[in-house]
Chains A and B, each alone.
Chain A
Amino acid sequence: MNGIAQAYGIVAEFTTASSVLHAAEKVRDAGFRKWDVFTPFPVHGMDRAMGLKNSKVGWFAFLGGVTGYTTGMLMIWYMNTFDYPIVIGGKPMFSPFGAFPPSYELTILFGAFGSLFGMLFLNRLPRLHHPLLKNKRFSLVTHDRFFVVIECNDPKYSETQTRKLLEDLGSRHIEVVEE
């Protein structure tokens, strides 16, 4: 804003999975809202340590699956029974059994799209720009480091106290990242 770089958040680096897990528990208990933990792989138990609720991706997949199955059944009924019926080998014009295999495949197809795009939607991805990705040190997150990031627009954020908290949690490298 106004050409002056705004601070995005405070970044604290950790070197082990257990130290970042314990740090996350403390940050959660301190009542922060706009914060996150960044890890090279999903750390077991981190969702609980951060107090995250169960992911909603399942609903997207379910919706996709239901859409797929209905599409399959209706499509086959419409094409082979309603729009242009042809007798083939004395088989019934529509049978749920004959229509099942393609509908089953479409259930899976749409369900898979639902879960992938649901995941991307919930994560607000693709996002080709992120303040953290500009930080040289932060790029180690995909290598072997763990980071706790508390955003500046968190109501509890204070430059000195938040830094103190993260130092007490055992972080050896703390810096403020610009927007």
Chain B
Amino acid sequence: MAATVTTMKAPQAAQVRVPETPAELQRVPLVANLRGFGWISNRVASLSEDKAPLWWWILFVPSALCLGMLLFMLSYQISTGVGVWGNRHPVMWAWDIVNFVWWIGIGHAGTLISAILFLLRQRWRTAVNRAAEAMTIFAVMCAGIYPAMHVGRVWYDWWLFPIPNSNSIWPQFRSPLMWDVFAVSTYFTVSVLFWYMGLVPDLAVMRDRAKTRIRQFLYGLFALGWTGSNRHWSNYEKAYLILAGLSTPLVLSVHSIVSLDFSVSQLPGWHTTIFPPYFVAGAVFSGFGMVLTLLIPLRSIFKLEDLITMRHIDLMCKVTLATGSIVGYAYSMEFFIAWYSGNPNEQFHFLNRALGPYQWAWIPMVTCNVLVPQLFWFRSIRHNLVIVFIMSILVNVGMWFERFVIIVIGLHRDFLPSNWGYYRPTWVDIGTYVGTFGLFFTMFLLFIRFLPMIAISEVKGVTPQSDPHHPLGGAKVKEVVPQ
């Protein structure tokens, strides 16, 4: 790279010499090793063009079997009744809602990365947004199973839609459960739209590289005839910006509304105003945990180190640290308010969380969500992929226990001691939960097999040579770095 940058405008003045930025102030490039446009296309597209590697089958077959198990568990539950789950009085919401909230929360990182980081001009998002958005969609699919199933008589699920039932009664919108239906279905639909719109230029990449008729036809069909016209890009970029602008309040509202399912009720431990921001922070926290869990192995297996650089991992760890700290703050604030409110029910509930029969769930929750992410303060930990990978799994273990603590501990001690109980999951609960992993990983593996898992055209747009005003803008990268 040239040692000085000269400006060519101002003909009367002598050429201005701008000293090169000192090394310690230079930004780490988003695409390492000065990779060219063609390299990016080849690298990413080849992942879904080459023959499926052995490890893919090794992961896919058990995932598909798990998915089969999910179908069996759901059929068994529908044909026998919701009593096959462990939900018993007084714990009428248990693993179903725990898993619903947990999966929905995981989904939040995708929209956060694609929308909020886009508005904040965090250009590093381009390398991870495609996979994170896909993860969102599949996580919301897993989540959606639970509310549909927990109603018991699933053939009445259509009562959730704004259609009058057989007695001409409409759904009643004064209940946050109805709000939730709209929030989650909107979230799913908008996430799919956003994801698909981002895919269109990359499907055109796949179409133009396709060797077989069937690939040409299918990629061509879904690429909608994209040509890369700048008149199209102009509208496309505006639409993308608007979708990001719409998804930002959406992602914040979805988990807020999920939290209203709890906080609008009058149960100690649920009836708090802190819930919406606390749930959103927890959702982003768990979502980033899942993104790290998925991308760290994929990055190594697919040799994507130049695209998903250590800086990307480092930044995602920092987001996890920030949101984990917000969650930790919310935990302590819940205890403080329980004491400060002087409400004996509230105080009993929080002491019961920490010291009661479900203490075994409270301890991993605090450990994994509050203590573990604090390790991300250390750069050496953020740069140790094995530790980051293990921690990212612990994050989601902790978040699962958080939902369990809120829901089951909230319900198992009713106001009257005669209404106290202890919840245990049944094998159907466990099988259904493991089965949703089957659905999630089957979908995700199919995604990385058939679609570009990194946004090719977006990553091209953040390379230095893509900027026509950059010193490298006029250069062909091949000339700078032989490939």
Give every chain A residue within 8 A of B229 (Cβ-Cβ). Answer: 36-38, 123
Check: A88 CB closer than 8 A to any chain B CB. yes
Instruction: Output the residue of B174, B175, B225 with the most chain A CB within 10 A.
Output: B174
Question: Do the beta carbons of B224 and A112 come within 8 Å of each other?
Answer: no
Number of contacts between A and B (CB, 8 Å)? Answer: 224
| Bound Cα distance A108, B469 (Å) | 36
Is B250 an interface residue, CB under 8 A from the partner? yes
With beta carbons under 8 angstroms apart, the residue of B171, B189, B461 that contacts A42 is: B461
Complex Cα distance, B186 from A109, in Å, reads 6
Given contacts A36-B230, A88-B172, A123-B235, A61 and B246 within 8 Å (CB-CB)? yes
Q: Mark B111-127, 1 if CB is under 8 A from A, else 0.
A: 00000000000000000
Does A99 interact with chain B (Cβ within 8 Å)? yes
Instruction: State which of A57, A75, A86, A101 has its C-beta within 8 Å of the C-beta of B179.
Output: A101
Given A19-B474, A38-B230, verify A123-B236 contact (CB < 8 Å): yes
**Interface size counted on chain A using CB atoms at 8 A:** 75
- A108:B190 contact, CB within 8 angstroms: yes
State whether the Cβ of B231 lies closer than 8 Å to any Cβ in chain A: yes
Which residues in A have their C-beta under 8 angstroms from that of B233?
A: 39, 42, 46
Partner among A18, A40, A95 whose Cβ is within 8 Å of the Cβ of B457: A40
Q: Is the beta-carbon distance between B171 and A79 smaller than 8 angstroms?
A: yes
Q: Which range holds the interface residue count of chain B? A: 35 or more
Most chain B CB within a 10 A radius of its CB, from A39, A65, A106, A127:
A39
The answer to whether A113 and B37 touch across the interface, beta carbons within 8 angstroms, is: no
Q: Is the CB of B41 within 8 A of A83?
A: no
- Is A52 a contact partner of B234 (Cβ separation < 8 A)? yes
In whole angstroms, how far apart are the Cα atoms of A95 and B208 in the complex? 54
The residues in A between 91 and 113 inclusive whose CB is less than 8 angstroms from any CB of B are 91, 95, 98-99, 101-102, 104-106, 108-109, 111-113
Q: A108-B249, A133-B227 are in contact. Are A122 and B235 (CB under 8 A)?
A: yes
Q: Are A116 and B239 in contact (CB under 8 A)?
A: yes
Q: Which residues of B contact A50 (CB under 8 A)?
A: 230-231
Name which residue of chain B comes closest to A47, CB basis.
Answer: B234
Task: Please name all residues of chain B whose beta carbon is closer than 8 Å to the beta carbon of A57 when the two chains form the complex.
Answer: 235, 238-239, 242
Considering the chains assembled together, what is the distance between the CA atoms of A47 and B234 in angstroms?
A: 7
For window 427-478 of chain B, which residues contact chain A by CB distance below 8 Å?
457-458, 460-461, 465-469, 473-476
Known: A43-B468, A44-B468, A84-B168. A101 touches B474 (CB 8 A): no
